[in-house]
A and B are shown apart, each in its own frame.
Chain A
Amino acid sequence: MTIEQISVFVENAPGRLLEIMETLGNAGIDLRALSIGDTARFGVLRLIVKDPQKAVTVLRAADYVISVTPVLAVSLEDTPGSLVKILRLLSDAAITVEYLYAFAARKKNSAYVVFRVEDNALASAVLESGGVKVAGAAEIYDALS
Chain B
Amino acid sequence: MRMEGLVSPDSSRRGRSLEAVHYTQGNLWKNALFGYGEAMKYFQPDRECASYDAMRQLQSERFVKTVRHAYDAVPFYRESMAKKGLTPEDIRSLDDLSKLPFLSKDDLRESYPYGLLAVPRSRVVRIQSTSGTTGKRVVAFYTQTDIERWDECCARAIVAAGGSRDDVVHVSYGYGLFTGGPGLNGGSHKLGSMTLPMSSGNTERQIQFMCDLGSTILCCTPSYAAYLAESVMQQGVRDKIALKAGIFGAEAWSEEMRRDIEDKLGIKAYDIYGLTEISGPGVSFECSEQTGMHINEDYFAAEIIDPHTGEVLPDGSKGELVLTTIAKEAFPILRYRTRDICVLSRKPCSCGRTLLKMGRLMGRTDDMLIIRGVNVFPSQIETVLLKGGYSPNYLIIVDRVNHSDTFEVQVELTPEMFSDTVRKIAARESELLASMRSMLGISPKVTLVAPRSIARSEGKAVRVIDKRKI
Are A and B a genuine interacting pair, yes or no?
A: yes
Q: Which residues of A contact B (CB under 8 A)?
A: 5, 7, 9, 11-12, 37-39, 41-44, 46, 63-67, 69, 98-99, 116
Q: Does the CB pair A116–B450 fall under 8 Å? A: no
Residue of B nearest to A71 (CB): B420
Contact A67 B418 (CB under 8 A): yes
Whether A65 lies near B450 (C-beta < 8 A) is: yes
The listed residue with most A CB atoms (<10 A of its CB), out of B423, B426, B449, B452, is B449
Q: How many A-B residue pairs have CB under 8 A?
A: 57
Interface assignment of B448: CB less than 8 Å from any CB of chain A: yes
- 13 interchain pairs, CB-CB under 8 A: A11-B447, A11-B449, A11-B450, A11-B453, A41-B429, A44-B422, A44-B425, A64-B450, A65-B413, A65-B415, A66-B418, A67-B415, A99-B421
* Among A12, A39, A66: residue with most chain B CB under 10 A: A39
Question: How many whole Å from A44's CB to the nearest CB in chain B?
Answer: 5
Main SS of chain A's interface residues? strand
Q: A39-B426, A41-B429, A44-B425 are in contact. Are A67 and B420 (CB under 8 A)?
A: yes
Q: Is the CB of B420 within 8 A of A65?
A: no
Residues of B within 8 A of A43 (CB): 422
CA distance A42 to B422 in the complex (A): 9
CB distance from A68 to the nearest CB of B (A): 9
- A19: shortest Cβ distance to chain B, in Å? 10
Docked complex Cα distance between A37 and B423 (Å) = 10
Q: How far is the CA of A39 from the CA of B428 in the complex (A)?
A: 13
A41 to B422, CA, bound (A): 11
Tell me, yes or no, whether B414 is within 8 Å of chain A by CB: yes
Of all chain A residues, the one with the shortest Cβ separation from B414 is A65
Q: Which B residues are CB-close (under 8 A) to A11?
A: 447-450, 453
A43 to B415, CA, bound (A): 15
Interface residues on B, range: 10 to 19
Name B410's closest neighbour in chain A (CB-CB).
A11
CA distance A65 to B414 in the complex (A): 7
Pair B451/A65 contact, Cβ less than 8 Å: yes
Check A7 against B420 for contact (C-beta < 8 Å).
Answer: yes
Q: Which of B423, B447, B452 contacts A41 (CB 8 A)?
A: B447
CA A63 to CA B420, docked complex, whole Å: 17
- Is the CB of B134 closer than 8 A to any CB of chain A? no
CB of B394 to closest CB in A, whole Å: 14
Closest to A64 in B: B450
Q: Measured between C-beta atoms, what is the minimum distance from A43 to chain B in Å? A: 8
Nearest 7 Cβ contacts at the A-B interface: A7-B420, A37-B422, A65-B418, A69-B420, A63-B452, A11-B449, A65-B415
Beta-carbon nearest neighbor of A37 in chain B:
B422
- Cβ–Cβ contact B418 & A116, under 8 A: no
Is B133's beta carbon under 8 Å from chain A?
Answer: no
In the complex, how many angstroms separate the beta carbon of A34 from the nearest chain B beta carbon? 13
CA–CA, A63 and B230, complex, Å: 14
Q: A11-B448, A42-B447, A46-B420 provided; 14 other pairs, C-beta below 8 A? A: A7-B418, A9-B418, A9-B448, A11-B453, A12-B447, A39-B426, A41-B429, A42-B448, A44-B420, A65-B413, A65-B415, A65-B450, A98-B423, A99-B422
Distance A116 CA – B424 CA, assembled complex (angstroms)? 13
**A-facing residues in B338-376 (Cβ within 8 Å):** none
